[in-house]
Every structure is written in C-alpha cells, then in structure tokens.
Amino acid sequence: MSTPKMIKKLLIANRGEIACRIIKTAKKMGITTVAVYSDADANALHVKMADEKVRLGPAPSKDSYLKGELIIAAAIKLNVDAIHPGYGFLSENAQFCRLCEQHNIIFVGPPVPAIEAMGSKSAAKQIMQEAGVPLVPGYHGDEQAPEFLKKHADEMGYPVLLKAAAGGGGKGMRQVSHSDEFFAALDAAKREAMSGFGDDIMLIEKYLTQPRHVEIQVFCDQHGNGVYLFERDCSVQRRHQKVIEEAPAPGMTDALRSEMGEAALKAAQAINYVGAGTVEFLLENDGQFFFMEMNTRLQVEHPVTEMITGQDLVEWQLLVAQGETLPKQQSELAINGHAFEARIYAEDPNNEFLPSTGTLTRLIPPCEDAHTRVDTGVLQNDAVSPYYDPMIAKLIVWDKDREKALAKLTSALSRYEVQGVTTNIDFLYNLASHNAFANAQLTTHFIEEHEAELFVSAAQTHESIIPLAAVYLVLDRVQAQPKQSIHSPWQAGNHWRMNEFHQEALTLSVQNCQYDIRVIHADQNDSLLRSFEIQHGSQSYVCHGKLENGELSVNVNGHGQVIKVAQHENYSTLFTPKFAVQCALVTPDLGLSDQDDHHGGFNAPMNGTLVGLMVEPQQQVEKGQTLLVMEAMKMEHAIKAPSAGKVLEFFYSPGDLVDGGSALLTFEATDETE
C-alpha cells in the first residue's frame, strides 16, 4: 500500500467527453486540472475547461495521446500529483502506469500487476478459472498457427468468436459462422488487433446464440475493501460496440444480482485490484453467466450507475487514488430508479454505420436537469475529425422505473438537434421505441434480429407516414417562401385560384424510397393552420396541419398527433410515436447533374487512412473479393469487387490519408459474354 498523497493538481491524459467529465469532478473537489491536446484539438472543449493545457503533437493519436513519455514529461514540468487516463488510449497500458510510479505520480487506476493480469484476455481467463469464476468454453492458449486455431474452432463447433487477446471495445473481434470463413476472418481480426493494440494474439470462444451482456461495476481501495455498485445491461450492440446501456438490468433478481456481484468481486480480488473496474459477463436466459473480460478502468457507460446509486464514480476514483477508504460499504449502497445511456455518434446507420466527419453547424442538446444529463466534449461549430472516435455525446436519462425512463429517453432523443454531420439519433430513437426493447427482450443480437423495423422499411410504414410527411413538407416549403403582398393574388403564397382549389403533384422521398402524391390545398387564408387533401395511389387523406417551433400538429382522417421534427441539410426527420423517419421533397431532375462516374463507384466512403491493398494491379479477382481496406475512427471498411475483373490502378498507397469521396482505383469488369 502506497503512502497517502493528496491530489492537488491532476493531468487528464485523454480528450473529448471523458476529459470534460473528469475535469468537472476535479473542479468540484478543488483540484487544479491540466489538459493535453493534439493539433486537431487545440480549440477543443476539454482544453478550454482545464486550468492549464499542454500540446502533445500532431493529430494522429500515435503521435499525441499515445505518447506516454510526452505526457509524463508534461506532468513533471507542471508539478502534477496525479494522472487520470480516462478510458481508451493509455488507460489500460501497464507500461504507462509503470512510468507514473517511477516518477512518483499517482496513476488514477489499478496497479501494474492488475493491468497486466487483465491486459491479456487469454491470461485473464486462466486467472478467472483458478479463482472459480465461470468461463465460456474456448481456446486461450499461446499457440497461434492459423491451422491450429482453425482446428480448435472446428472441434468447438460454429459459430465461434475470434477475439484479440489484448483487445477491447469490439476491436480485433470477428464472428465466424462457417469453417470456410475462418482464415479470412482471422486475417482481418489479427490486422485490426495489430493496428489497434500492437499485438495480434487471438483467442477463440464458443459463440453463445442468445446471450445478454451484463456487467458489474466493482470498486476496491488500497486497504482491502471492495464493493460492487450493481449491474448494467449493455446487450444492445453493433459490431460488438455498445449502443444503449441501462441500469439496473431488466429482470434481474436479488439472488442473481448478489451472485454475479460476488463473482465480480472474486475476480477483482484475485488480482489485488484497486480503483474502478468492470467485470463483464454473458448472461443466459436460464440464469447461467460466464466471465467475458474485466476492464481495468472507468467505463464509457458509468453514468447510468451514477444515476441509480447517487454516487460520483470519478470522485471515488480520486479518493481511492490518494489512499482513502471507499466512501461507502456494500450495505450502504442501494438502487434507486432506472437509467439509460444512448451514445450519440457521427455515423450513418443506413450506410453500415460508417463514421461521418464535418463541422457541427448546429448542435442543440436537450436541456439538462436532475433527470437528464449530457456528457459531451464538443460545442456547436466544432469539427468531428477522422482521427478519433466519432462520439458526439452520451445522453443519460433517469426516472423512477424503466417505463418512465424509456419515455424520457425517446423524448430527449427527439429534441437532440445536430446538423453538419450524419448521426445515429434516428436509429437510437427507433431502437428505444421498439416494442421488443420496451418489453426488455434483450440479447446481443437485438439489432440483427429487428433490423427491418429499426431501419424502417418503407413497405411497412408508407400507409401511415406518407400523409404525415406530405403535410410537413408542404407546410415547411410554404413557410420558407418569402412573405408576399396579401393584396395581389399573383404574389400570394396561399395557392389562391379563381373558383377552384389549387392542386399540385409532388414526389416525396421517405426512407430513401420515392412516392408520387397529389396535394389539394383546401384553405384560402394565410393562417398557420392549413388544410389539405393528400392523394396517394387509391388512398385519400383529409389533413389539417400546423408547423410551429419544430413541432408538427397534424390531423389525418380524424387522427390527431403532435410530432417533433428535426431539420437537416438535405432532409428532415419526423419522430412519430413508433419510429423516426427521414423525408424530403424530390426536386425535378432537369438534367443538370448528369455526370458520368468514371471510377465505377470506387470512392472513399469516408475520410480515413488506407490500411492495405489486398490485390495487385492487373490481378484477376472474383466478385466480392476485397480490393483494399480503409480505416477511420478505429473502424475498418473493405472495398470489394462488384464483379469479376481486375484493378487497373490504385491511386493511393497504404498509410495515405484519403478524403471522403476521393476515387481510390480504376476497375475493369470481366466481359461475361466472353
């Protein structure tokens, strides 16, 4: 046990929302804060919030936030007492923790041996097995020959999950459904693991088909005390990354909670843990649970635990780091209400969740209060760059029970305004509004199982949504027109016609599908409330609508609703009670944009780095074969051949930074008639 040392100055070795989050608590505790930043973050919010700031280097994290020696040098120069690593970057880096110890700087986290023990997933499994913590069947050994690994997978039976031994956050992870997919998945997982962690050792686990992801928040001090602050359900994921988290876990019994909590503490005590940690389990419907991994840091989703316990976990971290005992004993901790966290990302759910970059030209989150919290690291007019994780914010809500908290979440999502980048807000709203989610039918495959509803296919929604979209789009267009003289029928904007109602034919885009409609304007005044008859196919709808302050008050065939509306550059979102849908008026094609695509569609889908060229120029390839791999914001994206053929020329080399939309290569398809 180290000698207690008060923390008077704290350096935060991180960026974005977690750096801002830590700074808030440090200021509350009267601790001076130091921010570090890269060139891309020179004007970032965490830099503005801190008392002092230090430049690390260029934008790429390997040249800045991952430069442990630069951070230590800054800490020494500024006489810092402690370094908080946040999560990601150096938070689970044993060597960085060791550097802190060598320079008598408090590392706000566990000791080196605990980080090392859990840093390797395979080693962690061995420790947990010896400690009596239940494990998923799998191979966690040192032998890494591809044929050897495949033999274990074949014997285990598919599906299996490949996981980077040094990984986390879904990086270096691939699900393999069939034996013939194994080697390609292994190559991709090893490449991603090496890029993200500098280590491509893999382990294999049996892939459970209907599990829930339930994790336990543990806390230990330097005096041998340990508690668990209950559980979080993080089952709803995409690409093994969490999307919506909640606490407590739905359907959790007191007996199972106690059993999982004790198992988590057993795992922590097995490695003499200190500080905040999370023990992640896979939970089956029959109550069986299996150790998955332990994260030796604060989790992204820690706010939901704070909301249901009333505890500040960052404050706990700082108190424990300076040698104090835990603020609460197990008997003093209790669950109050229910909380959700939704991660707001700059990404396009309709395009494989590809990251989106750009300037946040409009950023208005819902108002914060005791029940609504927004953890963010950006402000309006800030840029979302290709260098870091594309998270904009975490939206956290609380209420007395799950149903009320979920209603608060959907309402807050509908009021979150973001323009300048594509976001996942509509997708989150659809997810939170889904009946299966409301009924807590949660598994780690939730998104795949309900994909059609979550992405709101037009076939299932057009009868209800077409008249709503039509009324909104017509009202929005009318209100956007300049005010004209009310004395001239030729300049009036109210569709005045001698002895008849004005009719117009329009084309709507709803969820990227087009619908032809006819609108009959039935009113003859300039009031906000307007009346229409909407005709679509054989259907006719009598509609009354008013658009005011971002809300559409609409009545369709006697059914009245009030719908929140969010406007974007090229479309708008209607947040109906069941789902969010995107809509726009389709402008006539006048032939002004008829430019040939000379590159066959082989354009960079986002700003990013070209990781590797997977074929040689002039090499014959098959349809679906990967031609090159790009990486942006910690995610890989493969460009594949649309048909058999060959690449004539690549325009970039591995390591090059590529702008989104740039042509990547020229491709010649094989003539199928030959």
pLDDT band at 655 (very low <50, low <70, confident <90, very high): confident
In this structure, are residues 32 and 51 in contact, taking their beta carbons and an 8 Å threshold? Answer: yes
Could you tell me if residue 396 is inside a domain?
A: yes
- Flag whether 590 is in a domain: no
The structure's pTM equals: 0.81
d(CA 220, CA 229): 11
pLDDT the model gives residue 459:
59
Name residue 396's beta-bridge partners: 341, 373
If pLDDT is split at 50, 70 and 90, which confidence band does 670 have?
confident
Element (H, E) at 101: helix 94-102
Same domain, 194 and 316: no
Q: Residue 350: what pLDDT?
A: 86
Work out the mean pLDDT of the chain and round it to a whole number: 90
Q: Which of 82, 38, 42 is nearest to 63 (CA)?
A: 38
pLDDT band at 146 (very low <50, low <70, confident <90, very high): very high
CA distances, 273 to each of 23, 86, 167, 464 (Å): 25, 17, 20, 55
Least confident of 384-388, 471-475, 486-490: 486-490
Tell me which H or E stretch contains 418. Answer: strand 417-419
Task: Answer yes or no: are the C-beta atoms of 431 and 404 closer than 8 Å.
Answer: no
Query: Tens of pLDDT along 12-47?
Result: 999 999 999 999 999 999 999 999 999 999 999 999
- Asked if residue 77 lies in contact with residue 46, where contact means CB atoms within 8 angstroms, the answer is no
Residues 359 and 402 in one domain: yes
Kindly report the length of the chain: 674
Rounded-to-integer distance, Cα 23 and Cα 9, Å: 11
CATH of the domain at 195: 3.30.1490.20
Give the confidence band of 360 by pLDDT, cuts at 50, 70, 90. very high
Q: Is the pLDDT of residue 488 over 80?
A: no
Most confidently predicted of 194-203, 237-246, 334-343, 664-673: 334-343
Average pLDDT over residues 466-482: 87
Compute φ and ψ for 156, nearest 5 degrees.
-70, -35
Domain identity same for 201 and 222: no
CATH number of the domain to which 77 belongs: 3.40.50.20
The dihedral through the CA atoms of 317, 239, 181, 195 has a sign that is: negative
Choose the most confident range, by mean pLDDT, from 315-329, 514-528, 652-666: 315-329
Residue 213 has what pLDDT?
96
* Residue 402 is among the residues annotated as catalytic for this protein: no
Which band of pLDDT confidence, cut at 50, 70 and 90, is reported for residue 592?
Answer: very low
The pLDDT assigned to 414 comes to 96
User: Looking at the 3D structure of the chain, how many domains does it have?
Assistant: 5
pLDDT at 366 over 90: yes
Q: Name the nearest CA neighbour of 534 among 462, 470, 465, 460.
A: 470
pLDDT on residue 600: 45
| Residues with Cβ within 8 Å of residue 206, at least 6 apart in sequence | 136, 137, 138, 156, 157, 160, 161
Count CB atoms within 10 A of the CB of residue 478.
Answer: 16
Give the domain range for residue 49.
9-108
Residue 502 pLDDT > 70: yes
Domain CATH code at residue 540: 3.30.700.40
What is the pLDDT confidence band of residue 491, given thresholds at 50, 70 and 90? Answer: very low
Domain boundary at 161, 178, 206, which?
206
Q: Which two tokens stand for residue 246?
A: 């909640």
- Looking at the fold, whether 86 and 166 belong to one and the same domain comes out as no
**Collapsing DSSP states into helix, strand and coil, what is residue 391?**
strand
In 486-558, beta strands by DSSP E: 502-510, 513-521, 530-536, 539-548, 551-556
Phi-psi region of 253 (alpha: psi -120 to 50; beta: other; left: phi over 0): beta
Question: CA 484 to CA 290: how far, in whole Å?
Answer: 69
Q: Are strands 551-556 and 173-176 parallel, antiparallel or unpaired?
A: unpaired
Section 317-332 average pLDDT = 98
Kindly state whether residues 630 and 573 are assigned to the same domain: no
Burial class for 15, CB neighbours closer than 10 Å (0-12, 13-18, 19+): buried
530-536/539-548 β-pairing: antiparallel
Question: What whole-number distance in Å separates Cα of residue 633 and Cα of residue 635?
Answer: 6
pLDDT(289) > 80: yes
Residue that terminates a domain, selected from 63, 89, 108: 108
Compute the distance between CA of residue 234 and CA of residue 251 in angstroms, rounded to an integer: 14
Residue 166: its pLDDT value, please?
A: 84
- Is 597 a domain residue? no
Among 197-201, 414-418, 434-438, 498-502, which stretch is predicted with the lowest mean pLDDT? 498-502
**Residue partners of 537: CB distance under 8 A and separation at least 6:** none
**How would you classify the pairing of strands 608-613 and 620-621?**
unpaired
Contact call for residues 73 and 100 (beta carbons, < 8 A): no
622-640 residue pLDDT tens: 988 999 988 876 667 788 8
d(CA 576, CA 579): 5
Which contacts qualify for 518-521: CB closer than 8 Å, 24 or more apart?
A: 519/470, 519/474, 521/494, 521/495
- At residue 486 the predicted structure's pLDDT band, cuts being 50, 70 and 90, is very low
pLDDT at 638: 84
Q: Which two tokens stand for residue 264?
A: 């988590």
Residue 347's pLDDT is what? 93
Return the structure tokens found at 454.
């979550």
Cα–Cα distance list, 584 to 469, 510, 581, 588, 662 (Å): 8, 7, 10, 13, 27
Bridge partners of 190, per DSSP, are none
pLDDT tens digits along 539-572: 999 999 999 989 999 999 999 999 999 998 889 9
Q: In what order do the strands lie in the sheet with 173-176?
A: 138-139, 202-206, 160-164, 173-176
Same domain, 400 and 254: yes
User: Of 297, 343, 373, 530, which is the active-site residue?
Assistant: 297
Most confident of 44-53, 157-166, 191-200, 443-452: 44-53
Per-residue confidence (pLDDT) for residue 241, from 0 to 100: 87
Q: Which two tokens stand for residue 8?
A: 């008077």
pLDDT value at residue 656: 87
Q: Which of 222, 160, 169 has its CA nearest to residue 193?
A: 169
User: CA-CA distance, 16 to 12, in Å (whole number)?
Assistant: 11
Q: If pLDDT is split at 50, 70 and 90, which confidence band does 501 have? A: low
Instruction: State the first-to-last Cα distance of the chain, in angstroms, to the nearest integer.
Output: 76
Structural domain includes residue 360: yes
Do both 449 and 472 map to the same domain?
no
State whether 322 and 404 are in the same domain: yes
> Which pair of tokens denotes residue 664?
């990547």
Q: What are the phi and psi torsion angles at 206 (to 5°)?
A: -65, 135
Domain annotation covers residue 501: yes
Helix (H) or strand (E) holding 568: none
Question: What CATH number did the domain enclosing 625 receive?
Answer: 2.40.50.100
Percentage of the chain surpassing pLDDT 70?
A: 91
Q: Please check the confidence at residue 329 and state whether its pLDDT lies above 50.
A: yes
Higher pLDDT, 603 or 420: 420
Per-residue pLDDT averaged across 360-372, rounded? 95
444 & 474 share domain: no
Mean pLDDT of 134-158: 91
Bridge partners, residue 275, by sequence:
220
Which is nearest to 53 in space by CA: 24, 84, 12?
12
Q: Is the pLDDT of residue 338 over 60?
A: yes
Asked whether residue 4 is assigned to any structural domain, the reply reads no
Strand, coil or helix: 464: helix
| One-letter identity of residue 79 | N
For residues 370 and 249, state if they share a domain: yes
For residue 673 the two structure tokens come to 């008639």
* Residue 74 belongs to a domain: yes
Instruction: Reply yes or no on whether the pLDDT at 492 is more than 50.
Output: no
450 and 463 both lie in a single domain = no
Residue the block writes with tokens 């979550």:
454
Confidence of residue 458 (pLDDT cuts 50, 70, 90): low
Strand, helix or coil for residue 204: strand
Q: To which residue do tokens 């939970």 refer?
A: 283
Residue where one domain finishes, among candidates 188, 206, 224: 206
**Cis ω on the peptide bond leading into residue 159 (within 30° of 0)?**
yes
Q: Identify whether 3 is part of a domain.
A: no
371 and 232: one domain?
Answer: yes
